[in-house]
Structure 1
């Protein structure tokens, strides 16, 4: 028997609480300066649509970061 909590609950119109809204998708462009929570400062070197970005952290360190971009922030 599966738990009913495993599914997403629907929002009732009579509820006094606001419905949960999804986080907006971050959009990056080539050349944008970014900050990564673990790796530090870098620059976007290529963008694969809304799927992933490649970040150059200097010294030949390239890292592909897939969406959702929780650990990346634009400077």
Structure 2
């Protein structure tokens, strides 16, 4: 019953936590990798769909401005 009311972000986090509990050495590898390079999944998941859309628009506008001034 509780799973019906959880958001997609909460569900992803719950599934990730369950996977980490089942594979502790994988968790160590993921942690060291994530601390060195960051995680795009965590970054985009934290922003939501509006923030992700704004980021994509800013990247596209940045490329357009770059090509207008430097071409």
TM-score > 0.5, shorter chain as reference: no
What is the TM-score when the length of structure 1 is the normalising length?
0.19
Could you say which structure has the higher helix fraction? 2
Could you say which structure has the higher strand fraction? 1
Higher relative contact order (CA 8 A, sep 6+): 1
